[in-house]
Structure 1
């Protein structure tokens, strides 16, 4: 088989199809040998990248192509954390030392004050196609038609015909010259929803074409969504799940667990997360390290790690209460993009993590509730991470902790 592939008789990407479903691991092994022997270093074939004991049938046609193995990451557990009255263990797949330990410290402090309360303020995935028209006049007419009762009803009917879960919530439009951008927003059940909304948007544009035969759909995604890129529209309008989390931390806990004071925390949070981020011209980055916790949980639960760009949008606020004795803390995250079905959630390890959280797959009676619960967990965990890091900075502990726990000894050369 290797000789046939080397001679161009079998395409490397087609090995699974040629060998069959019973030989998926063999296909991966052969591809690995082919790549290794073609490469400059020729190290892949005998490398430490794992190959065996993996269910490649879940990957095929769904998660990855030209597979040569898989990359394991350490999975740590922070907490548990009291989230809306339930003690939840926080799964984090990461290679950053101190991250899980620090988040756990934040969980301990938050639990001492009664835990975290979350509210879901919005749930809607978006897709923003770019549509060209022969003139700005016609483009403006199309914009007005979409805003009309007739236009909205036409697009909504076409959109919702594609899925029982796809419920069109809103249409936001803007013009740039003769190009019209339309931001479709829809509920997507327990799926993150990109495939669902793309299918619905395509159908809606077909219906719109009947009204405006001269329009040209340039791209189903015209970057008005906006997916996997920093964008003020996600920060302002929201995308996916919008969650706000709140907690009160007693002043005595701030001193005993976090080794700092309420006054120092509030001052540093204002100067760093608010003023510092504003001076940097940040969009949605008014936090200490929301992306750290969110991305670790994304990887552990089978989310799309690239969507951490907009999902990590977060503003962390702290203020003294009870005559300055205690700390009131909130985190607001308007664009957490998660699902409990589809994508990487089909992989067995990631499904096992979702099982541990009690939110695997689609919710049996309330579609969307599992994905919403995951978003709530992420926001609460982000709060724990934020509280611990700001406390470490306020107390001057950050560098000492990283020097002690985040320095690999394996590749450090000995002193000469």
Structure 2
């Protein structure tokens, strides 16, 4: 008879420890320790103490053997890893003969046969003939810069592994940072340098969102519980009410170099030159010559003493366009330099663009895509789906988003949480996440119609998105763009894919605004966040605290 036959007795939370364990033996509702039962000679069930002791000892011995084996394997792996890193460091100092190298499993490093491999030798060999440990030794010895591993090895994945090994020799803990199961080739030279792994983010979908007659399931990458669920509710309310419609009001990326002239008079002359339609045409031609898609639309000039700020604005097709417009601006500045030899280009970016910083200029004049979206939400949907009333929504929106933001001196922040939705979509679709600063400029408006329904709109003057370039070509981000039907350039109507993405961003922001303001109007915000951000145990604790 095995002790396993008494498994129900061991499901009450007791754990075995060597020579000290508990066996729940019911005898007049009194528990006896396993050692006491054995020493007494009989168990509460009448079994001989020796037999019970033998069964328990067998169970313990089996478990201890498994634990010992696992511990030994773990110690072996750690020792091998440490030996490999020590070996690389010593090899960098020419101390280790090649036949003393240590094998390392999946990232196995094996020394070539034939004795010592000093740095002078391995540094002359192709990296394809070197083990990972030898390449690491060259990195440690500063023969190969760590940031050049991809170029030197011609293998991005191997470069990541060796760079991680190098950092481990410096005491950096990277074990739990993922680095496998990803294609690093598209990242090289485009998205990131000194790559050691990646951060995985959960992606949820909100929708369907009916926009301009098309339904979209919008991908959102976030670690904020409740965000996707709330936005999804807003999408439902919009779709049930007939959907939203959008308008693209303007489309042009900007770059604002800062120029210095000899005097205020010469600065004024430069401004006149750029303001004159005839001379502007020459600047425009120079700018447009740098790209098949970039088309200069305007140059806005401001003067501060002898310093000139020129804000070049150009259509950039389906690309977000920063590189494109920078290239065109440089060419235009060459023409201006020929006309004004004393002009000094202080910087191709003079913060007059304005990129990745709050600025009234972007709020007033726009940057990237300027989009406005509207929808009418029926009173019944407001009541049944959003659990509030039209009057309450209008009141909260005016008090919070308009008056509250004005009292705070906000620039472009006349909304509840546009940045939440913008950033989540940006991360999911490979946009420049730092551009959420200006892309989140938004004013949310709500009013009650004559029929008692809710009319709402969001206007966002500076959404900066692209469907080519940047991180849009990475596998996961490409998949999310395909989900929206806007992956890559639109060959028939250049720029329309990026414009559609901007419209989707604005419409999803409206869905998020609608749901959050409804939660505030109904007093649901704290409860919903506790439900989606915390465990039920924490929720109960918060409720108990709130009741005190």
Please report the TM-score for the alignment, with normalisation by the length of structure 1.
Answer: 0.96
User: What is aligned with 1:166?
Assistant: 294
Instruction: Report what 1:25 is aligned to.
Output: 157
**Is 1:336 matched up with 2:463?**
yes
- Equivalent residue number for residue 520 of structure 2: 393
Does residue 69 of the first structure (1) align with residue 197 of the second (2)?
yes
Find the counterpart in structure 2 of residue 256 from structure 1. 384
Please name the residue that 1:35 is paired with. Answer: 167
| Aligned counterpart in structure 2 of residue 11 of structure 1, from 134, 140, 145 | 145
Query: Of 196, 203, 206, which aligns to 2:324?
Result: 196
Secondary structure class of the residue paired with 1:328: strand
The reply on whether 1:131 has 2:259 as its aligned counterpart is yes
Aligned equivalent of 2:479, options 349, 352, 356: 352
Q: Which runs of 5+ in 1 are unaligned?
A: none
Residue 151 of structure 1 deviates from its aligned partner by 2.1
Whose relative contact order is higher, 1 or 2, with alpha carbons under 8 Å and at least 6 apart? Answer: 1
Q: Show the 5 A alignment for 1:345-384.
A: 345-384=472-511
Of structures 1 and 2, the larger Rg is shown by 2
Give the aligned partner of residue 267 of structure 1: 395
| Residue 37 (structure 1) shift | 2.4
Question: Aligned pair 1:310/2:438, yes or no?
Answer: yes
Deviation at 1:408, TM superposition (A): 6.1
1-structure distance, mates of 2:303, 2:279: 17
Residue 153 of structure 1 deviates from its aligned partner by 1.1
**Cα deviation, residue 18, structure 1:** 1.3
Secondary structure in structure 1 of the residue aligned to 2:242: coil
User: Over residues 236-265 of structure 1, what are the superposed CA-to-partner deviations in whole Å (9 max), with x where a residue is unaligned?
Assistant: 000000000000000111111111110000
Which residue among 109, 116, 132 is the counterpart of 2:244?
Answer: 116
TM-score of the pair, normalised by structure 2:
0.73
3-state DSSP of counterpart to 2:403: helix
SS at match of 1:353: helix
Match of 2:268 in 1: 140
Change (3 A) 1:73 1:322: same
Distance 1:127 1:196 in 2: 10
Cα distance in 1 for residues equivalent to 2:237 and 2:526: 21
Output one character per residue of 1:276-320: Cα deviation in whole Å (capped at 9) or x when no partner: 000000000000000001110000000000000000000000000
Aligned runs of 1:169-180 on 2, under 5 Å? 169-180=297-308
Q: 2:375 aligns with which of 217, 240, 247?
A: 247
More helix by share: 2
Instruction: Pick the structure with more strand per residue.
Output: 1
- Mapped partners of 2:267, 2:375: distance in 1: 48
Distance in 1 separating the partners of 2:448 and 2:211:
22
Kindly report the root-mean-square deviation, in angstroms, between the aligned alpha carbons of the 2 structures. 1.5
Shift of 1:38: 1.2
- In the alignment, is residue 52 of structure 1 matched against residue 184 of structure 2? no
- The CA deviation string for residues 370-412 of structure 1, in whole angstroms up to 9 with x for no partner, is 0000000000000000000000000000000111111269999
Counting matched residue pairs gives 406
Deviation at 1:150, TM superposition (A): 2.9
Residue 205 of structure 1 corresponds to which residue in structure 2? 333
Partner of 2:409: 281
